[in-house]
Amino acid sequence: PLVATIASTDMGLLLRDDVFVDFFNTFLNLPVFGQTPIYISSTGQWDLWPELPSCLDLSPPALLALLEKHRLPHFCKSSLCLHLVLCQKLLGFVRSGEAARLLNWQSADRWLLEKCISGSQGMWRFRAFVQGTAGEELINFWLTTERLLGLDESDARQRDLYLSLLHRLKATHLREGSSIVTLCRTITGSQLKARHIQPISTRKETLSKMQERTLFMIQSYWLPKFFIHCKMGMEEEKSCWPLLQEYRERLLQANLQEPSGFSENLLTMHIKRSQGLSGTYCSRKAKAEIWTVVKEGRDTQETKVPSFQMRPERQLKPTGNTKESCLDKDALGSAPHKSDALGGKGGANSPKRSRPRPNAEQVLHLEDLCEEKVLSNLHSSAPLVQLPSLKKMVKTLSFLPWALSAETCAGRPFRDFLKSQDRSVETRLLDLWHDLEEFLPVVLDPSRENSFFLCHLIGEKICKTYLEEGTIEPLPLETRTLRSLRNHLMSGEFSPWIFRAQEEICKVLCCFFEDFLADDDRMFLRFMVTGMH
């Protein structure tokens, strides 16, 4: 699999690929990490954030060694990496002679389509285009299968994830009547109806063939439709007219050779010097400063906008994580790394919309369970992010939900840290937080493909894993919260108790996340100062 190839490739070589650089920069800047550098491939420059104290020497080889050992493995487990692989598959098709023959594309067409599809933003646009169509199911199936085929079922560390993904495929994409089964009927034959357990090799071979058929449909049908959509959109957008003009000029030039996107010129890599920064290096404080700016901006917006009116078709969207991702967090995922504005404090019949704010003396308001999370100007297909309360001082607890949402798209580094510290209870709490986060967009948007089946699948998984009577006590959450969750999730229903549970989990995990950031800082400084591997 291409993911394994990426994992074993030298970092310096990977950074010569502009498409990889785009996805990797997105990954590196997810707010779960302490140090979030960005690479500018056109100049060979690294910008660090937070900056290092000016008294320290900056070593590009040390930085590359750090990224290769402590960032690349997480990237290869992330949804962003899966989207990078899909992007490379699509670009390979666009550049191929097969595409030219099938679709009669000229070199100018290929040039423009590469501009539209390349990078994390290009994949986000493509995923937004197919949202709500059969194309969305095809892409989700391809991504899930790509992750599953890269796992070794015989490895005890991977077996749970393998079986979880396989169970999800059977409950959604491989159920009778789905777009995938209809498309791949000639491949699967009677295998999907077989009741006996298939050998692993046969199962993987079948899934691999189905994945190939699915990819060809994405490439030959949905990609051309997306190309037409992009050209029509550019006609209406003045800022795109220069690009269209260059496209038309290229149409007049036959067989124009296009760059491959792989840099042949070896630039001298360097790190931007800090601006006289002194004092202690601390990424946690830097994140708090950034979130203070975000908080102040939202405070200002709230004074200008006294009320918020939901659109009729999205009355109930409380948020709870790019790529995506667009960059799907599905396995996945996840993306992104783009936040979503979906929300309100309750359902369509929320008391916030029908009467004034409840009195402070009331024992339990809805807002106690679900704090305000509204960003109305962002795209609704992006991963959900539970934003911090504006009423609290900006401390780690304020931006922790923001960081945990990003962790889904980042290959779960915080979870690996908790496991390395032998924190089994805290690891289970983090898993519960993410499973609840995954449940929210499914239950709140019944129009999504397979939403009914996913609601019950995820709800039952949460109840069985965390909320059975025998497992309630070990989790350091209020018993009332856990019981209320169980009562609603067993039937696949939305409950504002989800937000109460996530809030309680964040309070428990807060000090451990600070330890994680401190550990990341120590590791970063150790590499940069001594070059240790």
Instruction: Give pLDDT, residue 473.
Output: 54
Would the pLDDT of 261 be above 70? no
pLDDT value of position 198: 58
pLDDT at 371 over 80: no
Lowest mean pLDDT among 97-101, 216-220, 378-382: 378-382
Q: How confident is the model at residue 52 (pLDDT cuts 50, 70, 90)?
A: confident
Asked whether 411 and 458 are in contact (CB, 8 A), the reply is: no
Q: What number is the average pLDDT over the span 451-470? A: 86
* Confidence at residue 275, expressed as pLDDT on a 0 to 100 scale: 72
- pLDDT at position 126: 97
Looking at residue 452, its pLDDT comes to 84
Mean pLDDT of 246-250: 92
Report the pLDDT value the prediction gives residue 89, as an integer from 0 to 100.
Answer: 96
Among the listed residues 163, 161, 192, 191, the one whose alpha carbon sits nearest the alpha carbon of residue 175 = 192
Q: What is the pLDDT of residue 529?
A: 79
**Mean local confidence (pLDDT), 434-455:** 85
In this predicted structure, what is the pLDDT of residue 263?
Answer: 61
Confidence of residue 328 (pLDDT cuts 50, 70, 90): very low
Reported as a pLDDT band with limits 50, 70 and 90, residue 500 is: very high
The Cα-based distances of 314 to 329, 332, 344, 375, 521 in angstroms read 21, 24, 10, 13, 41
In percent, the amount of the chain with pLDDT more than 90 equals 46
Residue 323 pLDDT: 35
pLDDT tens string 374-398: 233 333 333 334 444 444 445 888 8
pLDDT class for 293, splitting at 50, 70, 90? confident
Q: In this predicted structure, which of 20-29, 37-46, 308-317, 469-478 has the lowest mean pLDDT? A: 308-317
- Of 40-44, 285-289, 424-428, the one with minimum mean pLDDT is 285-289
Confidence of residue 369 (pLDDT cuts 50, 70, 90): very low
- Report whether pLDDT(157) > 60: yes
Confidence of residue 278 (pLDDT cuts 50, 70, 90): low
Q: What domains can you pick out in the chain, each with its CATH number?
A: 2-189+200-249 (no CATH), 392-530 (1.10.167)
Tokens at residue 438, please?
Answer: 């995954």
Averaged pLDDT, 229-246: 93
What is the mean predicted confidence (pLDDT) over 275-285? 78
Looking at residue 317, its pLDDT comes to: 35
Q: Are strands 45-47 and 38-40 parallel, antiparallel or unpaired?
A: antiparallel
Peptide bond into 61 cis (omega under 30): no
If you average pLDDT over residues 9-38, what whole number do you get?
A: 94
Task: Average the pLDDT over 493-513 and give the result.
Answer: 94
Are the CB atoms for 376 and 317 separated by under 8 Å?
A: no
User: 3-state class of 174 per DSSP?
Assistant: coil
Residue 185's pLDDT band, with cuts at 50, 70 and 90, is confident
pLDDT value at 447 more than 50:
yes
DSSP string, 238-306: GGGHHHHHHHHHHHTSTT-----SB--S----EEPPPSS--S---HHHHHHHHHHHHHHHHHHHHHH--
What pTM does this model have? 0.79
Percentage of residues in the chain having pLDDT higher than 70: 74
Confidence at 318, pLDDT banded by 50, 70, 90: very low
The mean pLDDT of 325-330, rounded to a whole number, is 40
